Amino acid sequence: MAAAASSAQPRDLFAPYKMGNFNLSHRVVLAPMTRCRAIDGIPGPALAEYYSQRTTPGGFLISEGTMICDTAAGFPHVPGIYTDDQVNAWKSVVDAVHAKGGIFFCQLWHVGRASHAVYQPGGSAPVSSTEVPVSERWRILMPDGSYGVYTKPRALRESEITEMVNHYRLAAVNAIRAGFDGIELHGAHGYLIDQFLKDGINKRSDRYGGSVGNRCSFLMEIVRAVVMAIGVDRVGVRISPAIDHLDAMDSNPLNLGLAVVERLNTLQLELGSRLSYLHVTQPRYTAYGQTESGRLGSEDEEARLIRTWRKAYQGTFICSGGFTRDLGMKAVADGDADLVSYGRLFISNPDLVLRFKINAPLKKYIRKTFYTQDPVVGYTDYPFLDQKQKLMSNL
């Protein structure tokens, strides 16, 4: 297998990039972001408008976290990809992105214990690797907009883990049926897969707990299952070994990240082909921007972690978290990332790619509308640059 995917390609945020079979026209990626506008789990016209607004020809977009089964939700009005109605509804959203030449992956999500009985079928307990709830340091957004306490989960039995892997596989197949170009496995931010990866949560004594290898088993079984179902070049993986969101702490984040990277590399060698990418969230304190999230680590320490994983991973590497235009340009120029995913700046700047290109001023995002259900306000009503602003910007 050849050296890292980045070596032969120009290191410029605005230069094209070949990600497997996908020809990207630039490196500015829409980060996956939950927006709670898919009423009752069905993506409607508002989502088509939102994603279409953020599409550029040859641009790469990752969808919001999308439920793989009926126990997967921990936010109100998150879209699903496990019923025919959901799959059919996604088709219009995907078509809108494709009509503008975008490349669109669906992020497959199960929140695990980061849920509440109110989001579970029959009001039952959420499922996890553990029976320990998310601590009261964190609060869950309830359907009525208030904040509640996370419900105590029950630990999945081994046979149920096999079923869960199958839910991921079916969701991946459904995503392709809906027209998505690929899927991203959400293995980050304290949700179900991360609840298996981190030794601060996973105290299991079966083959899914204990050693770091065992803790990677759930993720790797899912990766294998989806790769076999839809093809290795349509699968991306997201992890955040150094982020303690929702108590997802590990005693050795560097090692955990390397363990995942090594296993992905081995799988790629075995298959003779690469995954689409590895997507890593930066642990930078300001990164996620949620006051409660992120570990207060030094910039040097963070850079060391990310660089170590980046160097070790044989393939396309996406970074996310607190990137500005300049930081993104620098990360790509320095070879620290092939692609950079932008979250909050993309919420409030639908034409972020153009604004970055011409170094135009950016619109500020309004946090209080991140998770509301209005199909327009705080969602599709952020302005595009007008002609005058374009001319006034530094070209």
Binding site for ligand FMN (CB under 6 A): 31-34, 64-65, 107, 186, 188-189, 238, 281, 287-289, 320-323, 342-345, 370
Q: Least distance (Å) from ligand FMN to the CB of residue 32?
A: 4
User: Taking the complex as a whole, how short is the minimal distance between the CB of residue 344 and ligand FMN, in angstroms?
Assistant: 4
Closer to ligand FMN at the Cβ: 320 or 349? 320
Instruction: State the minimum distance, in angstroms, from the CB of residue 234 to ligand FMN.
Output: 18
Nearer to ligand FMN, 285 or 323 (CB): 323
Between 20 and 343, whose beta carbon lies closer to ligand FMN? 343
Can you give the chain as a three-state secondary structure string? CCCCCCCCCCCCCCCCEEECCEEECCCEEECCCCCCCCHHHCCCHHHHHHHHHCCCCCCEEEEEEEECCCCCCCCCCCCECCCHHHHHHHHHHHHHHHHCCCEEEEEEECCCCCCCHHHCHHHCCCEECCCCCCCCCCCEECCCCCEECCCCCEECCHHHHHHHHHHHHHHHHHHHHCCCCEEEEEECCCCHHHHHHCCCCCCCCCCCCCCHHHHHHHHHHHHHHHHHHHCHHHEEEEECCCCCHHHCCCCCHHHHHHHHHHHHHHHHHHHCCCCCEEEEECCCHHHHCCCCCCCCCCHHHHHHHHHHHHHHCCCCEEEECCCCHHHHHHHHHCCCCCEEEECHHHHHCCCHHHHHHCCCCCCCCCHHHCCCCCCCCCCCCCCCCCHHHHHHCCC
Question: Is the Cβ of residue 204 or residue 234 nearer to ligand FMN in the bound state?
Answer: 234
Least CB distance from residue 392 to ligand FMN, whole Å?
25
Question: Is 106 or 155 the residue whose CB approaches ligand FMN more closely?
Answer: 106
- Of the two residues 155 and 191, which places its CB atom closer to ligand FMN in the complex? 191
Which residues are part of the catalytic machinery?
191
Residue closest to ligand FMN (Cβ): 343
CB of 219 to ligand FMN, least distance (A): 14
Nearest approach, Cβ of residue 152 and ligand FMN (Å): 24
